């Protein structure tokens, strides 16, 4: 037992608040009337900032890393899009991380599983390039969106001479905060697989969802939207958006944190005084409680990933200007 647990503190001896505050330290308590930082506040704090990353930079860096970083010692050859705020070296937005990843031709990345849910969107794939999920080879072609629910073993394999590039999304920052993190490498290094399933429920093929998106109803002038599923992940969603060239889409503040990937097209996003000019393969982040405007200079297809499902489940999702 520590000395603090045995000590008797004479609180009646305190003649003023500073003295009382000092005595509270002896019993490991904090006062609730003069907190240095409020625990409740009238609206969400905006500690994470809007940010933009260019695929051309990520691709060049990963291509160089292909010479310098071997998959035999690195868990993944990837680049983390850490939000550029002091003290942060991982999360892209508060609950989610986005990372560019690459494998070389005829290379594999070992199979593992973990608590976080994961998803990836393929930027450059090829025939005979696969994600292996629980022993099944799932093709990775450009524009495909692949799910890896938590607890599923997954690895990557190229049986092609081409390099593969994609973006991973994980709810790992959320898991790190709550702390139920587990991670395990497959005993066979790369999980054995002899079956290819192009129609796996874990795969949303670009060739399938793009026509569906273009046939969907408009949610705003010049904007079509399609949520991909089932299956789904509990903590984050995947919504594909199509914007006609010349569209200007104004989006109100919500509590959801959002990360966008540009699958096709060019445009600009204006948020919090910043202006992001984006092209295919780029990623940009819009943390919660930010109003933003997306303008498409060409026909554009965007993937939007957000923690909205989690916030709705907890009854924490709110749109600015709506009733509590």
Q: Phi/psi at 263 (nearest 5 deg)? A: -85, -40
Are 46 and 83 in contact, with CB atoms under 8 Å apart?
A: no
pTM: 0.94
Q: Is 255 helix (H, G, I), strand (E, B) or coil?
A: coil
Instruction: Check pLDDT > 60 for residue 3.
Output: no
214-240 pLDDT per residue, tens:
999 999 999 999 999 999 999 999 999
Say which residue the tokens 């868990």 belong to.
Answer: 75
Residue 295 Cα to chain centre, angstroms: 22
pLDDT digits (tens, 9 = 90+) for 147-164: 999 999 999 999 999 999
pLDDT at 324 over 60: yes
Tell how strand 154-158 and strand 108-114 pair up: antiparallel
pLDDT class of 5 with cuts at 50, 70, 90: low
pLDDT of 104: 94
What average pLDDT is seen over the chain? 95
Rounded Cα distance, 188 and 133, in Å = 14
Question: Which domains are present in the chain?
Answer: 1-40 (no CATH), 51-205 (2.60.120.10), 207-313 (2.60.120.10)
Integer-rounded Cα Rg, in Å, for the chain is 23
pLDDT band at 6 (very low <50, low <70, confident <90, very high): low
- In angstroms, the CA 224 to CA 158 distance is 34
Cβ-contact 97, 169 below 8 angstroms: yes
Whole-number pLDDT of residue 170: 98
* H or E element at residue 213: helix 206-215
Task: Pick the closest to residue 4 from 30, 31, 24 (CA basis).
Answer: 24
- In this model, does residue 1 exceed pLDDT 50? no
CA distances from 127 to 117, 219, 244, 314 (A): 26, 35, 30, 41
Asked if 309 and 236 touch (Cβ cutoff 8 Å), the reply is: yes
Order of strands, sheet of 51-53, starting from the edge strand that comes earlier in the sequence: 51-53, 283-286, 258-264, 300-306, 239-243, 223-227, 218-220
């Amino acid at each position: 037992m520590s000395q603090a647990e045995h000590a008797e503190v004479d609180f009646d001896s305190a003649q003023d608040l500073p003295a009382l505050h000092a005595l509270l330290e002896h019993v490991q308590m904090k006062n609730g009337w003069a907190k240095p930082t409020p625990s409740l506040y009238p609206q969400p704090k905006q500690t994470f900032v809007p940010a933009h990353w260019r695929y051309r930079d990520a691709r060049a860096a990963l291509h160089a890393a292909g010479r310098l970083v071997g998959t035999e010692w690195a868990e993944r050859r990837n680049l983390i899009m850490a939000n550029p705020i002091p003290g942060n070296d991982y999360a892209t937005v508060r609950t989610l991380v986005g990372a560019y990843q690459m494998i070389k031709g005829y290379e594999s990345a070992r199979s593992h599983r973990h608590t976080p849910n994961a998803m990836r969107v393929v930027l450059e794939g090829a025939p005979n390039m696969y994600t292996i999920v629980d022993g099944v080879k799932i093709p990775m072609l450009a524009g495909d969106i692949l799910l890896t629910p938590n607890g599923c073993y997954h690895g990557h394999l190229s049986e092609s001479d081409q390099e593969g590039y994609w973006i991973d999304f994980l709810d790992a920052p959320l898991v790190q905060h709550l702390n139920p993190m587990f991670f395990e490498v497959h005993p066979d290094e790369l999980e054995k697989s002899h079956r290819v399933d192009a129609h796996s429920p874990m795969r949303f093929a670009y060739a399938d969802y793009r026509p569906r998106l273009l046939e969907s109803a408009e949610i705003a002038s010049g904007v079509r939207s399609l949520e991909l599923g089932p299956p789904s992940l509990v903590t984050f969603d995947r919504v594909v958006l199509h914007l006609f060239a010349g569209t200007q889409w104004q989006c109100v503040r919500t509590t959801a944190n959002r990360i966008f990937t540009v699958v096709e097209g060019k445009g600009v996003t204006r948020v919090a005084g910043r202006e992001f000019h984006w092209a295919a393969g780029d990623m940009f982040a819009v943390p919660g409680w930010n109003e933003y405007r997306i303008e498409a200079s060409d026909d554009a297809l965007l993937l939007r990933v957000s923690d909205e499902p989690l916030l709705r489940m907890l009854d924490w999702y709110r749109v600015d200007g709506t009733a509590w």
